[in-house]
Amino acid sequence: MNILLKAARIVCPDNKELHLKKRDILIKKGTIEKIAATIDAPSNTKLVDLKNLHISLGWLDTGVSFGEPGHEERETIAHGLYVAAKSGFTDIILYSSTEPVPDTSSDVVFLKERGHGKPTRLYPMGTLTKKGEGKDLAELFDMKNAGAVAFYDFKKQVANPNLLKIALQYAQNFDGLVFSFPQDGNIKGVGVAHEGIMSTTLGLKGIPSLAEELQIARDLFILEYTGGKLHIPTISTSESVKLIANAKKKGLDVTCSVAIHNLVHTDEMLSDFDTNFKVSPPLRTKQDVKALIKGIKDGTIDYVTSDHIPIDVEEKRVEFDNAADGSLGLESAFGALNHIFGLEETISILTKGHSRFGLQNLVIKEGEKACITLFDPEVEYSFGVDHILSTSKNSMFLGAPMKGKVYGVINNDHILI
């Protein structure tokens, strides 16, 4: 397929020659053939001429759940990748949150095959331990060879410190990336919300910040001893930012991410017991939000993730204590981030992370494969039900102010707008 983008403003902070320039871009058979001020459309070419069209390198989300296999009623892989593409993401890292969990090479191959040939590329994680039970290491090397980009027992702490030590040591043999969820389950207990004024007022069992910070401190001590590559997903407290900043100053190979909703909302949103705001880790305080945003700006926090977790209505329309954790995040990601950070910083955030997961870093350049996200960064609106494309509808962003509309993507020799 041939595609001609007309008058597209290129947002590419790392390329001074093209950054914020308005150009026509001709794409033939998935490859950028020409970038120029004006290009006449050849025959048999799809013309893309959209209002206030901006483009950037395709976006990466480092943490997404769907439902398949096990919970197809929440979201299938095919439809989830459609949602990701319409939300601007050309690449997603798929959490090991399926049922059964992906703890063998054949499981990883299955997930890759289900995502093959779509406009959004899918890169699966494998579990760190067999069945995700935290007892014995899974087949890490075999899963790596099958295409797993990291190893993670989804939203579960690595309770056994010796197991994390062995995992970090073993994974160094094949450059494996180990995830460790930052929450001590013993300290969390049966908590369902941030431990503070709001949880006390509402009578909800609290999850202290200590549950996260103690786990991170322990993991960083182990990493300092073993070496290796550690990623700490979805941190949520101000002290966590400090702990990771200090570890980086020591030269430890650690990265971390934060969920977008922890940059937008605080535990004050729980006042109506709306279960869409029940997530793990929980929403924290204004002080934590401020520290997390500062951590992104100064580079302590490496990646921002949608932490997209579809949950069907039956598991959300129950008492707050019994509701499943999770919120949608793909559809609202760009609008929420652009509202907070502005265009250039948002694009820098959304295009980071490829090398950490062993993925190819692409560029917008003649002769290169087209991996492009299309959007209008100026549209302002409130996020509504009509903006949700996912099968499940559990979004905590309903009513939140957004800035920016995504048109779609050009990737994998596909166009979806």
| Lateral strand order in the sheet of 59-64 | 59-64, 89-94, 121-124
CA distances from 318 to 324, 336, 362 (A): 9, 27, 45
Token pair 């596909």 in the structure block, residue: 414
307 catalytically annotated: yes
> Cα 217 vs. chain centroid, distance in angstroms?
23
> Is there a contact between 219 and 164 (Cβ–Cβ < 8 Å)?
yes
Distance from C-alpha of 343 to C-alpha of 25, rounded to nearest angstrom: 21
Euclidean distance between CA atoms 392 and 403, whole angstroms: 23
Distance, in Å, from the CA atom of 241 to the CA atom of 306, rounded to the nearest integer, reads: 19
Q: Are 252 and 245 in contact (CB under 8 A)?
A: no
Return the structure tokens found at 177.
């990336």
Q: Which of 307, 321, 386, 413 is catalytic?
A: 307
Q: Which residues of 283-304 are buried (b: 16+ CB within 10 A; e: fewer)?
A: bbbeebbebbbebbeeebbbbb
> CA-CA distance, 257 to 63, in Å (whole number)?
9
Whether the bond into 282 is cis, omega within 30 of 0: no
Token pair 């520290």 is found at 291
Beta bridge partners of 206: 193
**Among candidates 3, 42, 5, 41, which has minimal Cα distance to 22?**
5
Helices (H), 203-285: 209-226, 238-249, 261-264
Task: Quote the longest CA-to-CA distance of the chain.
Answer: 67
Name, in order, each residue with C-beta under 8 angstroms of 314's C-beta and a sequence gap of 6 or more: none
- How far, in Å, CA of 415 to CA of 62, rounded? 22
Gyration radius of the chain's alpha carbons: 21
User: Residue 129 half-sphere exposure, CB side, CA atoms within 13 Å?
Assistant: 19
- Tokens found for residue 251: 């030269």
Residue 240, both tokens: 């966590």
Active site residues: 307
